[in-house]
Amino acid sequence: MKSLINRNHETFLKKLAVTASIGTAIILTLIKTYAALITGSLSVLSSLIDSLSDILASAITFIAIRYSDRPLTNQHRYGYGKAESVSALIQSAFIAGSAGFILYDGFYRLVNPKQIEETFFGIVIMSICWLITLSLIMLQKYIIKRVRSQAINADSGHYTVDLLSNGSVIISLFVVKYLHWTWFDVSTAILISAYLLYSAGIIAYEALEEITDKEIAEADRQKIIDAVSRIDGVLGCHDFRSRVSGSMFFIELHLEFDGNKTLYSTHEISDIAESKIISLFPQAQVIIHQDPYGLKEKRLDHDIEGSCKL
């Protein structure tokens, strides 16, 4: 029952995060559209284009989270957690597309400059957008600390870029208003687009790493090895491997016991080890194979670097 309650609470937090994300993106898009029309600023327009992509990206995140939380089926016994990685990969494509549009328009305006109007109005509007974005990121970070979700993490990373770009737009408008450097607006937009491309690359890389079953973080691996090494009766550990799917950790390892112990007693110790791992990672699914200590056999550790040694 406790596990079910935790699962339901995690689902609620995920849905809260993406609903807030979609709502924020819509509000910011409406505000920035008005500001872009009034000011004619490319940096404001670049921020608007990014917010438009946020709506689509957040909608995809919402669909991915609903899909990833579906119960296990006969054909999907590991669940649907990889849907979150696919969502993050799609988000990276949206971000890269936005950056490409801004770059094109930026270089065009370098050749064909455009006068910027109502800079003070633009500063006020973009400051409001900055505060709204900051509030959303704080909510997302709160939820990410409690729920592991690559989709929400990618969404938060996207909005963190927005926060930085909105701050850059405000600075740009200040420079244009008081120093009359119209080229600074275009330069800021180009820099924003370059950072968007970098951010898209990071998000895509992390999504592909999870899709291709990269091991969990080394620090988490070590926590698990340290936990099982302190259990009475465990004499060794090998062939540790793991992967991540959405909020789930899938962990496999072989534990070594005195060969004279009964299967029942080693099974009891294995249950203790499984409980310790799940206490560290509540959403983990653990498979433990029992081996007699000192057995000479071909192992996974012989083929790959990084063995599990106690």
Tell me the per-residue pLDDT of 91-116, one tens digit each, with 9 for 90 and over: 788 778 777 777 776 676 666 666 66
Taking the domain 2-211, which CATH number applies?
1.20.1510.10
- The pLDDT of residue 2: 39
Taking the domain 218-303, which CATH number applies?
3.30.70.1350
Residues 255 and 225: their CA atoms lie apart, in Å, by: 10
299 band by pLDDT with thresholds 50, 70 and 90: confident
Residue type, position 302, single letter: H
Cβ count near 113 (within 10 Å):
11
- The pLDDT of residue 155: 76
Mean of pLDDT values over 280-296: 87
* Backbone angles phi and psi of 287, in degrees to 5: -120, 125
Residues 79 and 72: their CA atoms lie apart, in Å, by: 5
Please say whether the beta carbons of 47 and 166 come within 8 A. Answer: yes
Tell me the per-residue pLDDT of 149-163, one tens digit each, with 9 for 90 and over: 767 877 787 787 778
Mean pLDDT of the chain: 80
Q: Where are the domains of the chain?
A: 2-211, 218-303
Residue type, position 23, single letter: G
Place of tokens 């669940």: 79
DSSP string, the chain: -HHHHHHHHHHHHHHHHHHHHHHHHHHHHHHHHHHHHHH--HHHHHHHHHHHHHHHHHHHHHHHHHHHTSPP-SS-TT-STHHHHHHHHHHHHHHHHHHHHHHHHHHHHHHS------HHHHHHHHHHHHHHHHHHHHHHHHHHHHS--HHHHHHHHHHHHHHHHHHHHHHHHHHHHHH--HHHHHHHHHHHHHHHHHHHHHHHHHHHHHHTTPPPPHHHHHHHHHHHHTSTT--EEEEEEEEEETTEEEEEEEEEE-TTS-HHHHHHHHHHHHHHHHHH-TTEEEEEEEEETT-----HHHHSS-----
On the question of pLDDT at 232 being above 70, the answer is yes
Tell me the per-residue pLDDT of 162-185, one tens digit each, with 9 for 90 and over: 787 777 778 777 777 777 776 776
- The pLDDT of residue 1: 36
131 band by pLDDT with thresholds 50, 70 and 90: very high
Q: What percent of the chain has pLDDT over 70?
A: 88
Mean of pLDDT values over 224-238: 90
Report the predicted TM-score, pTM, of the whole model to 2 decimal places: 0.67
Tell me the per-residue pLDDT of 253-285, one tens digit each, with 9 for 90 and over: 999 999 899 989 999 999 999 999 998 888 788
Of 41, 67, 36, the closest CA to residue 51 belongs to: 36
